[in-house]
Structure 1
Amino acid sequence: MTHQKIIIAQNLNKQLLEKVQVLIPDWNIITGKDPAIWRNHIHDAEIIVGWKTEMNKLIESEKINNLKWIQTWSAGVNALPLDTLEKANVQVTTANGVHAYPISETIFALLLAFTRKIDTYVKQQQKKIWHHAQMKEEIHNKTIGIIGVGKIGKETAKIAKAFGMTVLGIRHSGRSEEFVDEMFTQSQLEDFLPRCDYVIVTLPLTSKTRYMFGTNEFNLMKPSAFFLNIGRGSIVIQHELIQALEDQQIAGAGLDVFETEPLPANSPLWQMDNVIITPHTSGNTEFYDQRLIEDIFIPNLENHLLGKKPEINLLNYKKGY
């Protein structure tokens, strides 16, 4: 008898794996990060959980008629062979929402570090320097602009309101949202950017967002404004960001994502006093696996077993997210 097969290309703990096994007791479950564990099962897996870049070539070389659904382990899908998957009618769901708490915390860690000079004081501590560093700014009652008001953006807006901030948002649909005082669309950047003391990019990388930010956009920002990118590196024209920082067109940048990762050692960004770099870790959390499995994958798996489409975070191929 041939059993249905699922690949979980992650090292799940026993408790989470058991929650999956209860739903599909008769399935053949292949689990583990090591490619040697799942490589020979790609051709007949019905579900793949936790996409790995090594799978791209395997998918393209193997017949994937049996593959029905992929649950990614990240919010972004730009690393997947989307054309191939779309032609094969493979459904894709993402990890969107898992990151809302940790990324919003990182955003405010960066905002507070810049405004309260925490990064400067850490550097001074290493050199045993006692100096106020002209620290005087605060984030209360300032204006924060959130570009991409999805789950991360909504949580960021909610926290911003606790600081008494004015919250501006950009959303593709322009639809209003709780905790956002004014909503704009991408075509209204010229009206949006000059009003912001902090500009936060939380967008996915798509054909419409690639290189969305460059010299023109930085020139629209206040010289006192800070720019944070926790979306994708290729949303920003990196050398134009560097120029804007060098020219003091903007006050500083908090960057978790870069066009090339790891960020090359010769990048000027490493040496800039008005830049804080984190190594694409803003979404890391102790609850990552639990949230992804319990809040996204298991409800979608229950639908799949009933012959329904997964409802949570289903990728729209045309939109790219």
Structure 2
Amino acid sequence: MKILILGGALDHADSDGALHELTSLTNDEFFFNSEELTDDQLAQVEVILGSAPKVLERIFSLPQSQLKWIQAFSAGVDYYPLDELKKRGILLSNVSGIHDEPIAETVIGMMLAQIRGLKSAVQNQQHNIWQSNGVSYTLLRDKKLVVFGTGHIATRIAELGQAFKMTTVGVNHSGHKATGFAKTQAITHLDETVLNADVMVNTLPLTEETKSLYNEPFFAQLTNAPLFINIGRGLSVVTDDLVKALKQGQVGAAGLDVTDPEPLPSDSELWQMENVMITPHVSGLYEEYVRDVVDIFVENLHQFQENETLARNEVNLEKGY
């Protein structure tokens, strides 16, 4: 079987060691530099690990292609041509399940930075200022944590929130019960159970339903000026509307690991807002990331070689996750 390793899979610190182990586990033929591959070679590729839009475009332009399965290097797959994959009968799998702990820890860090005054302290330190006046120090305890999404990442965020004695509310499509949440609510019927949150976290994947979900009408409903944290997708938030909500006090503060656009332009007002914390889409990263991705890929590869099905994390191309 001919397997092509693309961008994403090659960009992490421990890629070399993990990918060397991968190539030593099987007798399959691996390619690493798509730019040096001829059209004839690309036409023979059956499996791709990673993503490179231009390579997919080349493959799709060929009169004959053997591509049957793509293993994404991320949980979100909105950057893949899902309709085209569906039309061609190409399987897509993601790495959902490995981001729970790092992202949840980042979310808790953003909460503590804002609620315990750590962000203000760092800003004062840069100017050699010893100051406690004017900073509101409170606790996570008894705060209401609302998480949009009740999947793996959301569940871990809720568990850590409960460890800090927060009240946890989950929002999903139907309002069905979910592990880690004291209550759940349907995304189509939001009431004060959600709208008076102290902390609100978006973990939802990007779909047609979640694109621009957090917009001016949404922020106008909020009654408690929450800390708004986005570790889902930047396009779920209308950036100008968030800036306006922050200025008007509808949103008290924000923690953003993803933005629209991305990277965030240097002239964005968000950079200069004292109540905003920005990280460059790194909340899901950790030292063993590539090795954990390879473990998922190998498990799927073994089953795919047996019967051309996947053992785990197959993406529903209709739903986009």
Query: Per the alignment, do residues 82 and 64 of structure 1 end up closer, same or farther by CA in structure 2, a change over 3 Å counting?
Result: farther
Aligned residues: 313
Equivalent-residue separation in structure 1 for 2:159 and 2:139 (angstroms): 18
Query: Per the alignment, do residues 302 and 265 of structure 1 end up closer, same or farther by CA in structure 2, a change over 3 Å counting?
Result: same
| Equivalent residues in 2 for 1:140-219, closer than 5 Å | 140-219=141-220
**Residue 20 (structure 2) aligns with:** 17
**Residue 74 (structure 2) aligns with:** 74
Equivalent-residue separation in structure 1 for 2:140 and 2:151 (angstroms): 22
Letter aligned with residue 183 of structure 2: E
**Residue 239 (structure 1) aligns with:** 240
Equivalent-residue separation in structure 2 for 1:51 and 1:232 (angstroms): 18
**Residue 289 (structure 1) aligns with:** 290
1:129-168 CA distance string (max 9 Å, x none):
1111333211112110010111111111111111011110
Deviates more, 1:302-311 or 1:112-121: 302-311
Letter aligned with residue 215 of structure 1: E
1:175-204 CA distance string (max 9 Å, x none):
322221111121122344323110000111
Q: Secondary structure of 1:128's match?
A: coil
Equivalent-residue separation in structure 1 for 2:317 and 2:52 (angstroms): 19
| 1:197/1:222 contact within 8 Å kept | no
Percent of counterpart pairs with the same letter? 33
Letter aligned with residue 259 of structure 2: F
Q: Secondary structure of 1:228's match?
A: strand
**Residue 57 (structure 2) aligns with:** 57
**Residue 35 (structure 2) aligns with:** 36
Equivalent-residue separation in structure 2 for 1:64 and 1:158 (angstroms): 49
* TM-score, normalised via structure 1 length: 0.92
Q: Secondary structure of 2:307's match?
A: coil
**Residue 255 (structure 1) aligns with:** 256
Equivalent-residue separation in structure 1 for 2:93 and 2:144 (angstroms): 34
What's the RMSD between the two structures over aligned residues? 1.8
**Residue 277 (structure 1) aligns with:** 278
Equivalent-residue separation in structure 2 for 1:236 and 1:150 (angstroms): 20
Query: Per the alignment, do residues 15 and 249 of structure 1 end up closer, same or farther by CA in structure 2, a change over 3 Å counting?
Result: closer
**Residue 100 (structure 2) aligns with:** 100
| Equivalent residues in 2 for 1:91-130, closer than 5 Å | 91-130=91-130
Query: Per the alignment, do residues 158 and 66 of structure 1 end up closer, same or farther by CA in structure 2, a change over 3 Å counting?
Result: same
Equivalent-residue separation in structure 1 for 2:237 and 2:217 (angstroms): 11
Alignment pair present for 1:7 and 2:4: yes
Letter aligned with residue 17 of structure 2: K
Deviation at 1:284, TM superposition (A): 1.3
Equivalent-residue separation in structure 1 for 2:229 and 2:159 (angstroms): 17
Structure 2 residue runs of 5 or longer lacking an equivalent are none
| 2:167/2:182 contact within 8 Å kept | yes
Structure 1 residue runs of 5 or longer lacking an equivalent are none
Q: Secondary structure of 1:127's match?
A: coil
| 1:190/1:220 contact within 8 Å kept | no
Could you list the runs of 4 or more consecutive aligned residues of structure 1 that deviate by over 6 angstroms after TM superposition? none
Deviation at 1:80, TM superposition (A): 1.1
| 1:222/1:250 contact within 8 Å kept | no
Deviation at 1:308, TM superposition (A): 4.3
Deviation at 1:216, TM superposition (A): 1.7
Deviation at 1:47, TM superposition (A): 0.4
Letter aligned with residue 60 of structure 2: E
Higher RCO (CA 8 Å, separation ≥ 6 residues) = 2
Equivalent-residue separation in structure 2 for 1:130 and 1:154 (angstroms): 38
Deviation at 1:94, TM superposition (A): 0.7
Letter aligned with residue 254 of structure 2: A
Letter aligned with residue 169 of structure 1: G
Deviation at 1:314, TM superposition (A): 0.7
* TM-score, normalised via structure 2 length: 0.92
Equivalent-residue separation in structure 2 for 1:35 and 1:67 (angstroms): 14
